[in-house]
Homo-oligomer: A and B are copies of this chain.
Amino acid sequence: MPSLDELTAALRRFAADRDWQQFHDPKNLAMLLASEAGELVAQYRWVRGDEADARSREPVARARIAAEVADVGIALLLLCDRIGLDLTQAIADKLAHNAARYPVEQSRGRADRPK
């Protein structure tokens, strides 16, 4: 399995081979990510919440979902690479922040947590 660093290197090479870095400023990459997120959400928009797990296992739907998940991941890695941000470190930092923000006792079973 490739590591995130290897994938990032491959993505960088892919863009360089096509002279696409000129389009990949952080603003454009944020837009790319938003449009890919929109395509992912489209996969589930007519699916009932209680059928969404089963749908995610159906081969045809799964292939489409995997492709959209990958597109989001690619946009995210391209953005992180462009702005020099370590994705795993950012996630670890945010997780620590969230642990303080959503104390276990007050948050348990509550969908109405703020934000």
Chain A: residues with CB nearer than 8 A to chain B?
1-4, 7, 10-11, 14, 17-20, 22-23, 25-28, 30-50, 52-53, 55-57, 62, 65-67, 69-74, 76-77, 79-80, 82-83, 85-95, 97-99, 102, 104, 107-112, 115
Q: Tell me what chain A mostly uses at the interface: helix, strand, loop, or mixed.
A: helix
Residues of B within 8 A of A95 (CB): 7, 10-11, 14, 70, 74
Copies of this chain, tallied across the complex: 4
Nearest 5 pairs of A and B residues by beta carbon: A38-B38, A70-B94, A46-B111, A37-B37, A35-B42
**In the complex the two chains form, is A40's CB within 8 Å of B34's CB?**
yes
What are 9 contact pairs spanning A and B, CB under 8 A?
A: A1-B92, A10-B92, A18-B104, A19-B109, A26-B65, A31-B34, A31-B41, A36-B37, A70-B93
Q: Distance in Å from the Cβ of A100 to the closest Cβ of chain B?
A: 12
**In the complex the two chains form, is B69's CB within 8 Å of A87's CB?**
yes
Q: Distance in Å from the Cβ of A66 to the closest Cβ of chain B?
A: 5
Residues of B within 8 A of A65 (CB): 26, 83, 85
Given A38-B37, A48-B49; A26-B56 close (CB under 8 Å): yes
